[in-house]
Amino acid sequence: MQAASRTISSSQLGPHQDLERRVLRARDGEWRRPSAEHTRLAFAQAERWLADQHRPLILDAGCGVGLSTRRLAQRFPDHAVIGVDRSEKRLSRDHGAIGDNALLVRADLVDFWRLAREADWRPARHYLLYPNPYPKSTQLKRRWHGHPVFPTVLALGGRLELRSNWSIYVSEFAMAVELLTGHRPAPREFDPAGEFLTPFEQKYVESGQTLWWLEVDLGAGRFDAHMAGARP
């Protein structure tokens, strides 16, 4: 059994009062920051690899040590799975061989998402698996749904799945999706039944924490019309 994991502590008792303003600001804003050179190079490598796969894409965003990427590739052998994380140290940890339908990429995730949108990538599935929350009330803009990149994430389309051990985070995410798409997915408690996708997931369960799950079908970009600021 892994070491116990502390539950998230926050002064927030419910969704952040500034959530709507931040989400709509991201929708209506224009992104001006150029993508980092190392991420452009990494994306070009991933794009060449994906072109040779001839399989639908699964994007494992913020994959950490890459265990989830490996397990998703095993779970969906007819898909090409790309795991993206900014940490070379995490990605270099040994979690066994990686299948020929999986690729780990070291890149800035925010820039990678924007480049994927520019390239018109349409992942069949898109995973956000722990932990991102930034639970301080002053940190809303660092949570994915409060970040300026959020409209771009939704504009990629596909079946987006979020997992977290913080219910407020998942509720906020659902509200942000509704603001941009007109559709509000329903968060629910989640039990992986021992089939853990990430080390965090296993640690949270073994610590007795409740996991939360949310899934939204974004289709093949059919919500683009709602998101004026989605393109970088």
Q: What SS3 state is found at 217?
A: strand
Q: For strands 125-129 and 159-164, give the pairing.
A: parallel
> How far, in Å, CA of 128 to CA of 68, rounded?
10
pLDDT at 230: 43
pLDDT at residue 79, as a whole number: 98
By the 8 A CB rule, do 192 and 186 touch?
Answer: no
Q: Does domain 19-226 have CATH number 3.30.70.890?
A: no
Predicted local confidence at residue 220, as pLDDT: 65
- What one-character DSSP code corresponds to residue 7? P
What is the predicted pLDDT for the residue at 56?
97
The pTM of the whole model exceeds 0.85: yes
Consecutive 10-residue runs of the chain (232 residues): their mean pLDDT? 70 92 92 91 98 97 96 97 94 83 97 96 97 93 96 96 97 97 94 95 95 92 46 42
